[in-house]
Amino acid sequence: MFVTEAPESTTPFRSDVPFDPKILTVAERLEVAATKGKNITVIDGDTHVTTSWAELHETAKEFAAALQARGVSEGTHVAIMGPTTRDLLVTIQAVWLAGGVLVMLPLPMRMASVEGFIAQTRARIEFAKVSLVVLDPQLAAFLEPQEGDPAFVGYDDLRAAPTGLSAADWKPPTPDPDALALLQFTSGSTSEPKGVMITHRQLCANMDAAAERARFTLDDIVVSWLPLYHDMGLIGLCTIPMTTGTELVHAAPQDFLSKPARWLRWMHDFRGTITAGPNFAYALATRSLKRAEGLDLSRIRFLLSGAEPIDAPTYRGFLDAAAVFGLDPNAAFPAFGMAEVCIAATFPHPFTGLRTDVVEADALETDRRAVPAVLGGEVATRELARLGTPVRGMRMRIVDVDTGEELDERRVGELQLAGTSLTPGYYENPEATADLFDGDWLHTGDLAYVADGELVICGRIKDVIIVGGRNIYPQDIEAAVGEVDGIRTGNAIAFGVDDSNSSQHIVVVAEARTDDAVGLAKAVSRAVVAEVGVPPREVVLVKPGTIAKTSSGKLQRSQCRHEYRDGTLERLG
């Protein structure tokens, strides 16, 4: 049996970490964090406001008292929807301080899909049995209360002036580590989103393990623009600093997306040491560095990329471009996580940088073996990021997809996880919960292997395209297509379609700007053949901003396949 577990599992926690592993509820940790003397800065475009965590915590207790007056108590499901503001951060704290279960509702990725977004939001509110919705006033016009809805309130309804309540009226909830802290919806990249249940005990265990492996200290300064309705943004870069009292600088996703150069300017201005982003963010930041001046990125020590799988050339391109401004390439921190384990599953050790595994493409695709190779040699290769080892309290194993047999190193199968951070299941979904587990082990749905004890992710099982007995990974095609002039990088999807003989063909859907759609489609086809040796059955060029994505920006290959079959893609021309 080949099982890998955290190397720290049998050792005590280090004494210099800014948390107490004996405190197992979020509300109790927030109380302690407010005493650390550190600040929270909230950015709005090119302006910012800085206050202490202690000040924000006092306002949060004021909000919590108002929530309790409206019936929120231990176990009450409270949903929040709004862009990243100080009031949003206050309300997140307030829900936990009131004893409630936090349900973060995603914002629409594209306003063109606002009707679908409203319908999906209502469905989530109903499904999660939400008793109260706290809504940013900017969104009130989009989501007006209807008969049968829970109560809707705005931030102003929770302030001391209208309620007459103050922080002194707040009643601390009874500590219960096994009570639900969070309902975190999955991204829905390969299926309908599900409500992942996370208890206080699991959340605290995972935050502690992540902070310990990352060597978090109170000298760190975390900078984030990630959405707070996604696990990496909410838990990894917001709740960890919020519950440890670590300095945090927080912007909104739209602040970064509208001007990607801001991200690294924030790292410079606020002397940031910790930040994170998905693949596309590093691609955008690399372009912005071509025009950058006067940046000092030398304080960055932790630069996480958690997209799965990580695009090593894109990540490396950013590291090379940022090195001119003092970035230590060893700050790269490629990791693996998922909502079903709170956030952190495997982390590398700090300052080891981006390390990759180069393997023979043919053996990977036909034999499910990761045979080491040399990049640029005579045989076709794939370069995959090494994602470290399990964090404290976690274990991993690789099993055969068909038989469940545990596999040795460098054999490709499904990644399964076990340990202290696992969700008890999906809310109100016993069938999906039963399918999620194999005894104590959680099915991740990811194809992976282990190399020298470290995790290497190949792709999602549901997304693999099987052509002539080969397992072709869509991200390899998508990366090649994104390099074609006229195609919008990060906005191409590849998937397989079955023919009458039960074999699969490749279809590529890509956002493009061009006056020669036929010529561009041929160029895309040539790029696919050059990358995987198989021509696509069809290349569909669509209008910018129409590719299906999750609320966190992940490509929705299954939804795109559905739209292709239904003929509802917004094709160019």
Q: Does 15 score more than 90 pLDDT?
A: no
Task: Please tell me what DSSP assigns to residue 17.
Answer: S
CA distance 499 to 461: 20
Task: Assign 3-class secondary structure to 318-337.
Answer: HHHHHHCCCCCHHHEEECEC
Share above pLDDT 70 across residues of the chain, in percent, rounded to a whole number: 94
Higher pLDDT, 170 or 573: 170
Q: Does 307 score more than 70 pLDDT?
A: no
* One-character DSSP codes across 19-36: S-TT--SHHHHHHHHTTS
CA-based angle 513:309:104, to the nearest 5? 85
From the list 570, 507, 496, 502, the residue with the least C-alpha distance to 539 is 507
Token pair belonging to 424: 């008890």
Beta-carbon count within 10 A of 286 CB: 19
Least confident range from 135-139, 160-164, 287-291, 518-522: namely 160-164
From the list 63, 176, 110, the residue with the least C-alpha distance to 543 is 110
Beta-carbon count within 10 A of 369 CB: 16
Band of residue 528 on the pLDDT scale cut at 50, 70, 90? very high
CA distance 16 to 35: 17
Residue-wise pLDDT for 380-434, tens only, equals 899 999 999 999 999 999 999 999 999 999 999 999 999 999 999 999 999 999 9
- Integer Rg of the chain from CA: 23
Higher pLDDT, 307 or 162: 162
CA distance 490 to 278: 11
Token pair belonging to 80: 């929040």
Enumerate helices (H) and strands (E) in the chain, giving the number of each: 17, 28
Q: Does 125 score more than 70 pLDDT?
A: yes
> DSSP E strands: which ranges in 513-557?
538-542
Band of residue 144 on the pLDDT scale cut at 50, 70, 90? confident
Band of residue 110 on the pLDDT scale cut at 50, 70, 90? low
Token pair belonging to 185: 């919806």
Q: For residue 309, is the peptide bond before it cis, meaning its omega torsion is within 30 degrees of 0?
A: yes
Band of residue 199 on the pLDDT scale cut at 50, 70, 90? very high
Beta-carbon count within 10 A of 30 CB: 24
Question: Tokens 């009131």 map to which residue?
Answer: 98
Q: Does 554 score more than 90 pLDDT?
A: no
CA distance 290 to 275: 20
Q: What is the mean pLDDT of residues 487-515?
A: 87
Q: Does 503 score more than 90 pLDDT?
A: no
Q: What is the mean pLDDT of residues 110-120?
A: 73
Beta-carbon count within 10 A of 372 CB: 12
Q: What is the pLDDT of residue 535?
A: 93
Residue-wise pLDDT for 256-286, tens only, equals 999 999 999 999 999 999 999 998 899 999 9
Residue-wise pLDDT for 430-439, tens only, equals 999 999 999 9
Band of residue 192 on the pLDDT scale cut at 50, 70, 90? low
From the list 310, 322, 144, 342, the residue with the least C-alpha distance to 239 is 342
Q: What is the mean pLDDT of residues 316-327?
A: 97
pTM over 0.85: yes
CA distance 515 to 273: 44
Residue-wise pLDDT for 75-96, tens only, equals 999 999 999 999 999 999 999 9
Q: Does 112 score more than 60 pLDDT?
A: no
Q: What is the pLDDT of residue 38?
A: 96
Question: Tokens 């838990």 map to which residue?
Answer: 235
Residue-wise pLDDT for 543-552, tens only, equals 998 998 877 6
Residue-wise pLDDT for 322-347, tens only, equals 999 999 999 999 999 999 999 999 99
CA distance 25 to 178: 9
Band of residue 289 on the pLDDT scale cut at 50, 70, 90? very high
Q: Which helix or strand (DSSP H or E) is residue 465 part of?
A: strand 465-467
* One-character DSSP codes across 99-147: TPEEEEPPPPS-GGGHHHHHHHHHHHHHHTT-SEEEE-GGGTTTS---T
Q: What is the pLDDT of residue 113?
A: 65
Band of residue 466 on the pLDDT scale cut at 50, 70, 90? confident
Q: Which helix or strand (DSSP H or E) is residue 247 part of?
A: strand 247-250
Contacts of 193 (CB under 8 A, 6+ apart): 124, 185, 186, 187, 550
Q: Is 453 exposed, middle or buried (0-12, 13-18, 19+ CB in 10 A)?
A: middle
Q: Is 481 exposed, middle or buried (0-12, 13-18, 19+ CB in 10 A)?
A: buried
CA distance 216 to 244: 9
Q: What is the mean pLDDT of residues 350-375?
A: 95
* Residue count (the chain): 573
From the list 282, 316, 237, the residue with the least C-alpha distance to 553 is 282
Q: What is the pLDDT of residue 14?
A: 61
Q: How far is CA 420 from the centre of its chain?
A: 20
Contacts of 397 (CB under 8 A, 6+ apart): 1, 2, 3, 4, 406, 415, 416, 418, 441
* One-character DSSP codes across 68-102: HHTT--TT-EEEEE--S-HHHHHHHHHHHHTTPEE
Higher pLDDT, 307 or 199: 199
Share above pLDDT 90 across residues of the chain, in percent, rounded to a whole number: 77
CA distance 461 to 85: 37
Q: Does 491 score more than 70 pLDDT?
A: yes
CB 183 within 8 Å of CB 202: no
Q: Does 190 score more than 70 pLDDT?
A: no
Q: Which helix or strand (DSSP H or E) is residue 390 part of?
A: strand 389-390
